[in-house]
Structures are given as C-alpha cells and as structure tokens.
C-alpha cells in the first residue's frame, strides 16, 4: 500500500551532470537514492533515469521524478549524497516512438 501524499505530486526532470567516474559509483548512488526515496515515499517517487556520458568521460543522469515540490527533490538528492544541478518541472510527455531498449 502506497503512503498517501498530503500534496499532489508534480513531475520533474533532475539533471545530475558528470557526478560519477564509473558505473559502480553510479550504482552505489542509485542504492542510496532508493533507500532515501523509501523514507520519503509520501513526498517523492523515482520514475526513471537516463545515464549520459559527459564530454570529459564522466557519467551523469537525466532523472524523471514525481515530488510534492522542487525542494523535496533537492532534499532527496542531499539525503542520497547526489547533486541536483537542475530541478525542472515538466508538464507533458510526448512519445513519438516506442523506447528501443524496452522493445528489444
């Protein structure tokens, strides 16, 4: 049973630029994020992440979350020892083609 939120959830894109030097570091961060998210389940929900490789070779992410507000997303990042370089609300998802990874 999901915890009920006092406030409605808003969709956010969270940019984390070049935060990790390896996939192993990123996996550790994801574990921390999962634990923190469970503790804050009534205020934030991790939907998905896209791992990106920065020009300098480091890894970053573009994460999709739902949260009660942008400060909650930043708090979750702090609790997870991760950056939240930008927290941007988004209003709509437009899907042109199916995700090629999901289809494979």
Instruction: Give pTM, 2 decimals.
Output: 0.86
Q: What homologous superfamily does CATH list for 10-93?
A: ORF SCO4226, nickel-binding ferredoxin-like monomer (3.30.70.3090)
Q: Is the pLDDT of residue 92 over 90?
A: yes
| Rounded Cα–Cα distance for residues 10 and 6 (Å) | 13
Kindly report, residue by residue over 24-83, the tens digit of the pLDDT. Answer: 999 999 999 999 999 999 999 999 999 999 999 999 999 999 999 999 999 999 999 999
| Rounded Cα–Cα distance for residues 80 and 28 (Å) | 10
**59-67 and 86-89 strand pairing:** unpaired
Domain range list for the chain: 10-93
């Amino acid at each position: 049973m999901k915890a009920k939120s006092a406030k409605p959830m808003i969709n956010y894109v969270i940019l984390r630029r070049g935060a990790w030097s390896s996939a192993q570091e990123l996996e550790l961060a994801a574990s921390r994020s999962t634990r923190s998210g469970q503790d804050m389940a009534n205020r934030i929900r991790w939907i998905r992440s896209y791992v990106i490789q920065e020009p300098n070779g480091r890894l970053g992410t573009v994460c999709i979350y739902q949260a009660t507000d942008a400060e909650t997303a930043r708090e979750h990042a702090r609790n997870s020892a991760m950056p939240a370089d930008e927290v941007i609300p988004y209003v709509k998802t437009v899907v042109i083609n199916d995700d090629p990874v999901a289809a494979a």
